Amino acid sequence: MAGYKRKHTKRPLAKRAAKKLTTRAKAVKAAKKTPTPKRKIGRPSKAKPAVHLEVLRAVPEQAQSKNKNSEVSSLINEYQKKRNFLKTPEPEGGNYRANLRPIFVIQKHNASKLHYDFRIEVNGVLKSWAVPKGVSSDLHDKRLAVATEDHPLEYANFKGTIPEGEYGAGTVIIWDRGYYENITHDHDYQQPKAVEQSLKEGHLQIRLQGKKVKGDYLLQRFNKGKKENWLLIKIK
């Protein structure tokens, strides 16, 4: 009986051991068949270049913004020197934030003499003229426009009272505002001419799209000196 038991117990153990060896052999064989992905040395993944390019694009944009802010600050230097921003509610300005479409604004300014300030967005600032009789809606009506210092873009939203004793003391309201389009062309009417260049040459044609004022206008300089005198004429 004892011999029978020994033979009976050895057979199942041998079968289990053989089964384990077979399972391990299959696993090793399957592992050998599975290809190991090759690592490409020196070639960055697809995600890294995208991030890198974004950083490269951001650097010049930041530098351009800083340069533009510096340029705007120099253009409105005269405006800032004339005002004490601890006393006047007018915006100090200095930050470059261009609009998608260039704007214009007409502000009624009840100062020592009532007049209208006509301003258009050019190169990050508001080029400005004092128009004693206001912007006319009559064709070929000529209005004197005296050039004043450049104002910050934020001034287009300004309305309020400038205190007595401060530069331009009096009440300011927004009389009209909207967008404008440059319609100045070269002598052959082939190519549009930049607003900055047109102002330097003393001849600018623009199309105003406001609530009160609409149509084509001409700004024509006729006196160049310490104070430039222009004519503002509706031509269409």
46, part of any domain = no
pLDDT at 33 exceeding the cut of 70: no
Task: Give me the helices (H) in the chain, please.
Answer: 2-33, 47-75, 77-81, 195-201
Helix (H, G, I), strand (E, B) or coil at 160: strand
19, part of any domain = no
Helix (H, G, I), strand (E, B) or coil at 99: coil
Domain that holds residue 154: 74-234
The mean per-residue pLDDT over the stretch 30-48 comes to 54
3, part of any domain = no
pTM of the model as a whole:
0.69
CA angle 95, 97, 103 (to 5 degrees): 125
Task: Mention every residue, 6+ apart, whose C-beta is less than 8 A from residue 209.
Answer: 178, 179, 180, 181
Among candidate residues 148, 172, 149, the one with its CA nearest the CA of residue 230: 148
50, part of any domain = no
173 DSSP β-pair partners? 108
Query: How many distinct structural domains can be found in the chain?
Result: 1
Could you read off the pLDDT of 48-88 as tens digits, one per residue?
444 333 333 333 444 445 566 677 778 899 999 999 999 99
149, part of any domain = yes
8, part of any domain = no
Could you read off the pLDDT of 91-112 as tens digits, one per residue?
998 776 778 899 999 999 999 8
133, part of any domain = yes
30, part of any domain = no
